[in-house]
Amino acid sequence: MVTFLAGGTGTPKVLDGADRVFDPTETTVVANTGDDVELGGLLVCPDVDTVLFHGGGVLDTETWWGIDGDTTATYEELHRLADAAGLESGPRYLSDDAQTSGRDIARWRRFSGVAEFMRIGDRDRAVHLTRTSLLDEGRSLTDVTRLLADAYGLDVELLPMSDDPVATIVHTPEGPMHFQEYWVHRRADPDVRDVEFRGADRAEPTPAVRDALADPVVIGPSNPVTSLGPMLAMDAVADALEEAPVVAVSPFVENEVFSGPAAELMAGVGYDPSTAGVADAYPFADAFVLDSDDGTALDRPVVRTDTKINGVDDAARVARAVARALAEVS
């Protein structure tokens, strides 16, 4: 058995070839939910959905989000209507009162659907509608995710990190903003002063996640701050990782990031934006997989390979390196 901890790009990229190395029926993927938002009343879970769509063979692997070839008729109509009504686009937060009312799972991440600020595809939207409706029927996010995973024919077990709300809030000189405003709307432009995982002190990993963390754990090359941070902010997860054999793949080659805002976010919370900083962020990791060009000296075992992933063969190569590293520490 093996458990992968996933954000929406780095770890899913490794999963693309992991089934050649790890039996999918013995693989659990725990997905970050700190990036989730409620948009126009629908709960959107970007990292869960990347794994879902990937497992179902429909992921857009140019962007690593959304469904390949999806249309955006509803999204476009929302913008046409807002324009015609003279309503401003951009993230439209609901009032502070509304942030703590309604569905508990969506606390501190509720946005109006007017001029929807995230580009939600039409088929993609059907997933959010189904998910939210099942939640409203009284099911947990874990149960709903299982149903969706069955619908997409996933071989691995996919779990949200928690059934409780954790909202990733980026603190900037312009004030606090949800991670999706910072990343999707502002393209990581504002300076990062701090990152808060609102709700994490009251959130718990689910029993299924606790079970999964008793197995060897792989942290793929996901963003340590916004993809792993929300999980690590739950004490029970951090404690479990101290006990389990853990291998982490760096999303950096020394101080070069492959993509995304990991460097800015790492610096903003006080870590060196580099592989060395990743090792500091993961004191519980027992071994690392680093790129062959990454000469960072670490105090723990390292397996090196080409960690650039562009397709299934690359992913399988990184997964094999992960298996070698796990063998050293299990």
Binding site for ligand GDP (CB under 6 A): 7-11, 13, 47, 221-223, 227, 249, 251, 257-260, 262, 307-309
Distance CA 143, CA 203 (A): 17
- Work out whether strand 157-160 and strand 27-31 pair parallel, antiparallel, or are unpaired: parallel
Q: How far is the CB of 88 from ligand GDP (least distance, A)?
A: 27
Amino acid making up residue 18: A
- Measured from the CB atom, is 82 or 273 closer to ligand GDP? 273
In the complex, what is the shortest distance from the CB of residue 29 to ligand GDP, in angstroms, rounded to a whole number? 11
Measured from the CB atom, is 100 or 310 closer to ligand GDP?
310
- Residue 206, helix vs strand vs coil: coil
Shortest gap between Cβ of 53 and ligand GDP (angstroms)? Answer: 13
d(CA 218, CA 17): 14
Pick between residue 5 and residue 115 the one whose CB is nearest to ligand GDP: 5
Tell me which residue of 263, 190, 223 sits closest to 35, measured CA to CA.
223
Which residues, 6 or more positions from 305, have their beta carbon under 8 angstroms from its beta carbon?
A: 289, 291, 292, 317, 318, 320, 321
Nearer to ligand GDP, 58 or 188 (CB): 188
What does the alpha-carbon distance between residue 252 and residue 259 come to, in Å, rounded to a whole number? Answer: 9
Query: CB-wise, 4 or 284, nearer to ligand GDP?
Result: 4
CB of 230 to ligand GDP, least distance (A): 11
Q: Closest CB to ligand GDP belongs to which residue?
A: 7
Smallest gap from Cβ 296 to ligand GDP, in A, equals 13
- Of 66, 10, 58, 39, nearest to 180 (Cα)? 39
Give start and end residues of each alpha helix (H) in 26-175. Answer: 46-55, 73-84, 96-99, 122-136, 141-151
Please state the φ and ψ torsions of residue 268, each to the nearest 5 degrees.
-65, -30
Q: How far is the CB of 253 from ligand GDP (least distance, A)?
A: 8
- CA–CA distance, 183 with 224 (Å, rounded to integer): 15
**Nearest Cα to Cα of residue 29 among 10, 54, 5, 47:** 5
Identity of the residue, 79 or 251, whose beta carbon is nearer to ligand GDP in the bound complex = 251
Q: Which CB atom, from 205 or from 220, has the smaller least distance to ligand GDP?
A: 220
Nearer to ligand GDP, 216 or 273 (CB): 273
Residue 10 CB, shortest distance to ligand GDP, in Å, is 3
- Residue 228: CB minimum distance to ligand GDP, A: 8
- CA separation for the pair 34, 168 (Å, rounded): 5
CA quadruple 64, 66, 68, 73: dihedral sign: negative
Q: Rounded to the nearest whole angstrom, what is the least distance from the CB of residue 32 to ligand GDP in the complex? A: 7
Those residues with Cβ within 8 angstroms of residue 137's Cβ, 6 or more apart along the chain or in another chain: none
If the CB atoms of residues 27 and 112 are measured against ligand GDP, the closer one turns out to be 27
